[in-house]
């Protein structure tokens, strides 16, 4: 995406891996931030080599990892309840960026037909041991073949955003539901931590969305935003990492306070640390 006509927003450091700095530019039309420069596909893999990237493991070594896995268990139940409310009859689910397969596993046990896409061989290997089926890319799948497509904190990682949105439209049944979860750079915790906000996660987060951006991007493909839901746990998790990036250690008390403050303020302005977007064909 061309940044020549975009306004500089913030300089952000890759705190996890390379320690390199990147620029964020604001697309005022979409109300979306763009990471610049964006690494090539050949170089992208090295930026994922971080112990902070725990969604690609099932580790429970530290208190932080144990807390993450505990909260993940609660979130999985909430995700399953959401899709069951969206689609009354259980059909086929595609989870793009399936990680270690936990969401597809609970959906499969609940009677859904499941398939995943996951670029990380490490995460995919763990998921396969749970009985999860994978395809290499969306191009291997037939049009209008899924009742539900999910992307849990994945859309921000996609290099070719326009192509990905067109593919989601192609794969979804006319009556299907698209569920996308992404961080929200307009949240209180984002504004508080600024360049230390962990959810910027440059350069593996190419895009940083607002509610306006999601609505406009998908409306271009004749998909309507039906519902926006909060992800309240995210403010605590992101604040913990942000404290580590800012001060060198995870200050649980301070991070919990900021996370709580973010959720309280979001009750008034509806700008939570992360949102779940439910979209339907128009």
Query: For 112-130, how does the pLDDT look when each residue is reduced to its tens digit (9 = 90+)?
Result: 999 999 998 888 999 999 9
pLDDT at residue 218 in the model = 98
Q: Each residue of 59-73: pLDDT tens digit? A: 555 655 666 666 777
pTM for the full predicted model: 0.93
Domains of the chain: 7-281 (3.40.50.150)
DSSP assignment letter at 122: H
Across the range 209-214, mean pLDDT stands at 98
Question: How do 113-117 and 274-281 pair as beta strands?
Answer: unpaired
Predicted pLDDT of residue 88:
81
Q: Name the percent of the chain lying above pLDDT 90.
A: 84
Query: Which pLDDT belongs to residue 60?
Result: 55
DSSP H or E run through 11:
strand 7-13
Q: Which residues contact 80 (CB under 8 A, 6 or more apart)?
A: 103, 106, 107, 110
Over residues 131-158, mean pLDDT:
97
Instruction: Supply the DSSP string of 41-58, one letter for each residue.
Output: HHHHGGGG--TT-GGG--
Predicted confidence (pLDDT) per residue in 6-26, tens digit: 999 999 999 999 999 999 999
So what's the pLDDT on residue 282? 83
Count the helix, strand and coil residues of the chain and give each as a percent rounded to the nearest 5: 45, 25, 35
Cα–Cα distance between 54 and 266 in angstroms, integer? 26
């Amino acid at each position: 995406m061309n940044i020549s006509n975009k306004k500089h927003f913030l300089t952000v450091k890759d705190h996890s891996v390379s320690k390199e700095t990147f620029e964020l530019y604001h697309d005022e039309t979409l109300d979306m931030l763009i990471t610049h420069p964006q690494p090539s596909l050949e170089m992208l893999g090295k930026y994922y080599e971080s112990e902070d990237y725990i969604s690609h493991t099932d580790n429970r070594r530290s208190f932080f990892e144990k807390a993450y896995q505990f909260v993940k268990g609660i979130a999985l139940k909430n995700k399953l309840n959401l899709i069951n409310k969206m689609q009354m009859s259980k059909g086929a689910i595609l989870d793009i960026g399936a990680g270690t397969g936990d969401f597809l596993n609970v959906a499969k046990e609940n009677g859904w037909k499941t398939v995943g896409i996951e670029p990380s061989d490490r995460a995919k290997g763990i998921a396969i041991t749970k009985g999860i089926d994978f395809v290499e890319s969306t191009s291997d799948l037939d049009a209008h073949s899924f009742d539900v497509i999910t992307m849990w904190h994945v859309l921000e990682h996609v290099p070719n955003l326009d192509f990905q949105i067109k593919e989601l439209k192609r794969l979804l049944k006319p009556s299907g539901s698209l569920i996308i979860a992404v961080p929200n750079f307009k949240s209180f915790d984002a504004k508080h931590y600024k360049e230390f906000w962990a959810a910027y996660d440059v350069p593996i987060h190419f895009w940083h969305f607002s509610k306006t951006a999601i609505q406009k991007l998908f409306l271009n493909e004749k998909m309507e935003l039906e519902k926006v839901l909060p992800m309240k746990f995210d403010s605590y998790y992101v604040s913990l990492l942000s404290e580590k990036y800012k001060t060198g250690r995870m200050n649980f008390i301070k991070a919990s306070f900021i996370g709580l403050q973010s959720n309280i303020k979001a009750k008034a302005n509806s700008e939570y640390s992360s949102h779940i977007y439910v979209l339907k064909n128009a």
